[in-house]
């Protein structure tokens, strides 16, 4: 009988439990680098510098959920540290299918897999709007999990009211 405790896989996200609010798969539309290209670090061409890599990643994609559907557009003003942890600072807009705008603000972390250009996301999300029919979003706490694939410039996020 083994006395070793199984080590959880770093790539396997821990699912959150709560009411599903939305999920999206978005594509990077622009990456702005500040001295060191994120693509060079993620491809292994360059090691991350001691001060980390600062970049702005703009993204866009469809949003789907039981009561929230539309398109998300935003920018993550991120900082990838030399140890592989990235700080997330996200601002964006969800435009609903009926043309209403909802402000999205999120912070959190990404853990980057040193063996591949991918990472796991954990976010604390705030949605804000004065649009009738959507003000219920102002009062809920939203946590999100997801993943990012730097090789193909995509990210997937699933958000829950907790």
Asked if the structure places residue 38 within a domain, the reply is: yes
Q: Phi first, then psi: give them for residue 138, nearest 5 degrees.
A: -65, -25
User: E strands, the chain, where?
Assistant: 19-33, 53-64, 70-80, 85-96, 101-112, 118-128, 142-149, 154-161
Asked if the structure places residue 12 within a domain, the reply is: no
pLDDT of 44: 86
pLDDT of 16: 58
pLDDT of 115: 79
117 is in which domain, residue-wise?
19-161
Question: Residues 6 or more apart from 145 whose CB is under 8 A from it?
Answer: 13, 14, 15, 16, 120, 121, 122, 123, 157, 158
pLDDT of 116: 82
pLDDT of 28: 98
pTM: 0.87
Please, are residues 158 and 25 in contact by the beta-carbon 8 Å criterion?
no
Q: What is the pLDDT along the chain (162 residues), one digit of tens a residue?
A: 444 433 333 444 455 568 999 999 999 999 999 999 999 998 889 988 999 999 999 999 999 999 999 999 999 999 999 988 999 999 999 999 999 999 999 999 999 887 788 999 999 999 999 999 999 999 999 999 999 999 899 999 999 998
Asked if the structure places residue 10 within a domain, the reply is: no
Asked if the structure places residue 100 within a domain, the reply is: yes
Asked if the structure places residue 117 within a domain, the reply is: yes
CATH of the domain at 115: 2.40.160.20
Asked if the structure places residue 1 within a domain, the reply is: no
- Domain count across the chain: 1
Asked if the structure places residue 2 within a domain, the reply is: no
pLDDT of 12: 43
Q: Which residue has the tokens 């491809």?
A: 43
Which of 20, 27, 17, 106 shows the shortest CA–CA distance to 68?
Answer: 20
- The rounded distance, in Å, linking the Cα atoms of 144 and 15 is 9
Please, are residues 11 and 113 in contact by the beta-carbon 8 Å criterion?
yes
pLDDT tens digits along 137-156:
999 999 999 999 998 999 99
Asked if the structure places residue 3 within a domain, the reply is: no
């Amino acid at each position: 009988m083994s006395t070793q405790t199984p080590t959880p896989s770093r790539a396997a996200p821990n699912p959150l439990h709560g009411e599903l609010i939305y999920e999206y798969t978005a594509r990077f539309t622009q990456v702005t680098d500040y001295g060191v290209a994120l693509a060079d670090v993620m491809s292994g061409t360059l090691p991350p510098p001691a001060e980390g890599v600062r970049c702005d990643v703009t993204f866009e994609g469809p949003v789907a959920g039981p009561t929230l559907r539309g398109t998300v557009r935003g920018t993550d003003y991120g900082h990838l540290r030399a140890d592989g942890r990235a700080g997330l600072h996200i601002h964006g807009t969800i435009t609903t299918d009926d043309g209403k705008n909802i402000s999205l603000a999120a912070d959190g972390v990404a853990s980057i897999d040193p063996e591949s250009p991918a990472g796991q996301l954990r976010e604390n999300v705030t949605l804000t709007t004065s649009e009738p029919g959507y003000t219920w979003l102002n009062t809920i706490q939203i946590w999100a999990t997801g993943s990012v694939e730097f090789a193909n410039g995509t990210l997937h996020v699933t958000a829950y009211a907790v």
